[in-house]
Amino acid sequence: MKKTFKMTSGQVAMLAVFLGLMLLLTFVAPLLNVFGFIGTAFIVLIIIAVGALSEGRFIGIATGTMFGIISLIASFILPQPLAPCFQNPLISVLPRIFIGLVVYTVYGLLDKAIKNKKKNKAVDYAKFGIAAATGAIFNTLTVMGMIWLFFGGRDVTSGEISTAITPELILAVIATNGTLELALTLILTPPIVMAVTRFKRTLPPTRSASKKAQRQVFTDENGGIETSESDKTDVITVNAVGSIPEQKAALRKAVKARLNGLGDEYRYYADGRIFECVTCLESVEKAKNIGIYASCKKEPDTRRLIEYLLENGKNLFLPVTDTDGRITFIGVDRDTRYAVNSYGIEEPISTGEKTDASLDLIIVPLLSFDSERNRLGRGKGCYDAFLRDSAAVTVGLAYAAQEAERVPTEEFDVRLGTIITEEAVF
């Protein structure tokens, strides 16, 4: 099943706040002679950019759409020289829908082109600012272009004010507004986005209390798998048929199919949520020596987490697996070189410090899990063998789509201390 975007309660709350701010800025501030109409528009553009950069393109599009609809309504209520122009939804609404998408897309291109491996805040500041400024300029060019398209060479009358839509007027608005928008969004958007991001790290996702009650079960004909569909993420159920190894094999097959259905856009969103939650865990903050793994393509991304932990002074150790499936953790840093092992997993070349006993916390990969924190690996038993003799705190990372109603377990399977997904902490 293809994973689609679903808004979290935090994103709904953020949209509500944005809507309230835009209503106040549009209808209340002008009556109080605060900001003025032009200043109000600039602030709203910054709000749209913050939504797109902190929560993704869908929130950016939703915020821009709200701005467009509010502009349309305001054109019938508030006295503005160009109000008749904005009474056309192709001018007041349509261009605004795409502002957040433009900001999000430009930032994505900059992020791919400019690798910030050292997490330099000035680089992030520049990328946020350029993306936001591009969105603001896009708004000015498209709105004024549409005004010229529909009203060029004509006079528009609002109350007793008549305005001639001339090329000189269009160019003057583009020059003045464009310059101000470029400066304000470039300067003000980055610190706001960074502040929002820091605040979000204090708000880990919570599990929906009604999730299990809302499941609707249907059966997969190929392998004895039932998948439960809820308002959030489907839960996979293994029928208690066959031996435990057979049930595990069926669950692995179902989870791999589920992972193949996750889109890149959703993975990007989910990886960000998981990262935010891991970095605000008290156990991670207190740990000095942390074991972690280099994620594979379809696993939650750990590379950003590795960079973050190294930057914050943690001693990191990654696993090396020998031909017998035994794990040894090796100390790594930013200069560590990696190679792909016989299991197709990236691991450090064995030149660093080895440790088997001094880890405070281990971040563990997994293929599936359940609400009791039972873990299903890929069947080699490498981590179970290591964890049985380790006193370290354990944290598993997974997408919500990997959750099972029940993971079949055997006596040698090790339950994890915490499991984190983009939707919940177990």
Please check the confidence at residue 344 and state whether its pLDDT lies above 50.
yes
Tell me how far the alpha carbon of residue 35 is from its chain's centroid: 33
pLDDT band at 177; cut points 50, 70, 90 = confident
- 412 pLDDT band (50/70/90 cuts)? confident
Separation of CA 321 from chain center:
32
Same domain, 413 and 296: yes
Give yes or no for residue 295 having a pLDDT over 60. yes
**Residue 161: strand pairing partners:** 158
- Alpha-carbon span 287 to 245, nearest angstrom: 35
**Do 159 and 185 share a structural domain?**
yes
Query: For the residues 401-414, what does the mean pLDDT come to?
Result: 88
Q: What is the pLDDT, as a whole number, of residue 4?
A: 44
Average pLDDT over residues 203-207: 45
Strands 289-291 and 315-321, sheet pairing? parallel
The DSSP result for 272-283, as a single string, is HHHHHHHHT-HH
Nearest alpha-carbon partner for 53 in 150, 172, 194:
194
Residue predicted with more confidence, 159 or 315 = 315
Task: Report, as an integer, the average pLDDT of 307-329.
Answer: 85
Q: What is the pLDDT of residues 71-111, one digit of tens each?
A: 999 889 887 888 899 999 999 999 999 999 999 999 988 88
Lowest-confidence range among 129-133, 201-205, 410-414? Answer: 201-205
Least confident of 213-227, 376-390, 395-409: 213-227
pLDDT above 90: residue 171: yes
Residue 290 — pLDDT band, cuts 50, 70, 90?
very high
Which among 295, 253, 301 has a CA at the least distance from the CA of 274?
A: 301
Q: Label residue 248 by pLDDT band (50, 70, 90).
A: confident
Match 């969103």 to its residue by tokens: 269
Query: Measured between alpha carbons, how far is 58 from 68 in angstroms, rounded to an integer?
Result: 15
Residue 309 to residue 69: CA distance in whole angstroms? 44
Asked, for residue 207, whether it belongs to a domain, the answer is no
Q: What percent of the chain has pLDDT over 90?
A: 31
CB 170 within 8 A of CB 76: no
187 and 225, same domain (yes or no): no
pLDDT class of 232 with cuts at 50, 70, 90: low
On whether the CB atoms of residues 9 and 232 are closer than 8 A, the answer is no
Three-state secondary-structure class, residue 159 = coil
Alpha helices in 78-120 (DSSP H): 83-86, 89-92, 94-97, 99-113
Q: Indicate if the pLDDT at residue 308 is higher than 60.
A: yes
| Domain C-terminal end among 154, 178, 200 | 200
Structure confidence at residue 25 (pLDDT): 82
Residue 312 lies in a domain: yes
53 and 125, same domain (yes or no): yes
Instruction: Say yes or no: 193 and 316 in one domain.
Output: no
Count the neighbouring beta carbons within 10 Å of the beta carbon of residue 251: 26
- Digit-coded pLDDT (tens) for 134-149: 999 999 999 999 999 9
Based on the fold, state whether residues 305 and 331 are members of the same structural domain. yes
Identify the pLDDT of residue 381. Answer: 75
**C-alpha atoms less than 13 angstroms from C-alpha of 138 in its C-beta half-sphere:** 23
At residue 215, does pLDDT exceed 50?
no
Of the ranges 98-102, 381-385, 402-406, the best mean pLDDT one: 98-102
Q: Does residue 4 sit within a domain?
A: no
Residue 18: inside a domain: yes
Q: What is the DSSP string of 14-45?
A: HHHHHHHHHHIIIIITTTTT-SHHHHHHHHHH
Judge whether 343 lies within some domain: yes
Mean pLDDT of the chain: 81
Q: Which residues contact 297 (CB under 8 A, 6 or more apart)?
A: none
Is the predicted pLDDT of residue 198 greater than 80, yes or no?
no
Query: For position 350, what pLDDT does the model report?
Result: 66
Q: Can you list the pairs that 266-271 forms with residues at least 24 positions away whose Cβ atoms lie under 8 Å?
A: 266/3, 266/4, 266/5, 267/301, 267/399, 268/56, 269/5, 269/56, 269/422, 270/300, 270/399, 270/400, 270/421, 270/422, 271/300, 271/301, 271/304, 271/422
Does residue 206 belong to any structural domain of this protein? Answer: no
Is 319 in contact with 291 (CB distance < 8 Å)?
yes
- What CATH number is given to the structural domain containing 295? 3.40.50.10420
Q: Per-residue pLDDT tens for 22-61?
A: 888 888 766 555 445 455 778 889 999 999 988 888 889 9
Residue 121 has pLDDT above 50, yes or no: yes
Write down which residue in 200, 223, 242 finishes a domain.
Answer: 200
Mean pLDDT across 179-185: 86
Do residues 174 and 317 both lie within one domain? no
Question: Nearest to residue 414, comparing CAs of 378, 380, 375?
Answer: 375
Q: How many domains does the chain have?
A: 2
Does residue 352 register a pLDDT over 70? no
Residue 269 pLDDT exceeds 80: yes
Q: Which of 137, 170, 200 is the last residue of a domain?
A: 200
Residue 353 in any domain: the answer is yes
pLDDT of amino acid 88: 95
Higher pLDDT, 54 or 354: 54
Question: Tell me, what CATH number does 74's domain have?
Answer: 1.10.1760.20
242 plus 372 within the same structural domain: yes
Range 318-335 average pLDDT: 82
1 is a domain residue: no
* Residue 285 sits in the same domain as residue 387: yes
Residues 22 and 158 in one domain: yes
Domain with 251, as residue range(s), is: 212-420
Element (H, E) at 225: strand 225-229
* 139 and 254 fall within a common domain: no
Whole-angstrom Cα distance, residue 387 to residue 370?
Answer: 18
Task: Specify whether 182 is located in the same domain as 227.
Answer: no
